Amino acid sequence: MSEPIPVVRTTDHGTAKLMPDVDRARAWLLTVDGAPQSYVDLDEPTHLEFEYARRLGYVLDVVAEPGRPLDVLHLGGGALTLPRYVAATRPGSRQDVVEADRALLTLVTERLPVPDGADIALHPADARAWLEAAPDDMADVLIADVFGGSRVPAHLTSLGYAREAERVLRAGGVYLANLADAAPFAFLRSQLATLAAVFEELVLIAEPGVLRGRRFGNAVLVAAHRPLDTAALARRTASDVFPARVEHGPALREFTGAARPVPDAEAVPSPEPPDGAFGIG
């Protein structure tokens, strides 16, 4: 029996709602407890509606030559937006998706099935626990987009976590994280310091208004042991409908300031967004 539209289900960690986009025939917005989690266009998987998702997509486009298959580990599944993007832009890629909410995975795979032939393995598990059990050198890219409600869980913000992420990446691998913060950026600076203790190269992508402290917003953090193509990233992010800045090198070290790496015992979740920052539906 078909479900009413929008589709509303109680999942393991909240109330999920799938709402169709009236402007796109097979596009859907996923919210959990009113917070937007994912947007998927089943007919056009390369369409990334959310600004932060486009920025993650820009990084994915430049980490290797166009079209080259990659082994990608996704911590946080949502509606599988980025796994679909990788499958479309880099055919033959092998992908693992770790999502703690089993019922949410069931909803997404039932209502928004992944394309035939996409090598996407789904793992209902806690991201940190799964990561700690994963083998060394298993991934070319690790994407962390895990939110408990609207906050990144504390156990995914520590130095111990960062070391596990670095361990599962290959020598030329790239770590990407979607974070959210506002001035004075205590959380974001601590994350930069934590990853700088493990990785040699860091890049931060965010809207100028967020970096100037004018509003709460997303920031994409990129880390690797090799230089990243910041010029290509800057061109892509500057030409976006909502342009962003790419910070790296001395400017990023200055932004990080005196922040220290976060040990497990002192880890805290990302800050609570102000009312209305992300909530819809």
Distance (Å, whole) CA 43 – CA 28: 11
- Give the pTM: 0.95
Q: Are 138 and 172 in contact (CB under 8 A)?
A: no
Residue 148 pLDDT > 90, yes or no? no
- What's the chain's length in residues? 281
Q: Are 114 and 45 in contact (CB under 8 A)?
A: no
Residues forming beta bridges with residue 119, ordered by sequence position: 94
Q: Could you tell me what percent of the chain has a pLDDT over 90?
A: 89
Q: Are 216 and 182 in contact (CB under 8 A)?
A: yes
- Stretch 211-235: mean pLDDT, rounded? 95
- Stretch 168-180: mean pLDDT, rounded? 97
pLDDT of the residue at 278: 55
Q: Which two tokens stand for residue 46?
A: 């390369």
- Stretch 100-115: mean pLDDT, rounded? 94
Distance (Å, whole) CA 191 – CA 199: 12
In this predicted model, what pLDDT tens digit does every residue of 16-64 receive, in sequence order? Answer: 999 999 999 999 999 998 889 999 999 999 999 999 999 999 999 999 9
pLDDT of the residue at 154: 96
Residue 106 pLDDT > 80, yes or no? yes
pLDDT of the residue at 150: 81
Q: Could you tell me what percent of the chain has a pLDDT over 70?
A: 97
- Stretch 159-163: mean pLDDT, rounded? 98
Query: For all residues of the chain together, what is the average pLDDT?
Result: 94
Residue 127 pLDDT > 60, yes or no? yes
What 8-state DSSP symbol labels residue 148? B
pLDDT of the residue at 160: 98
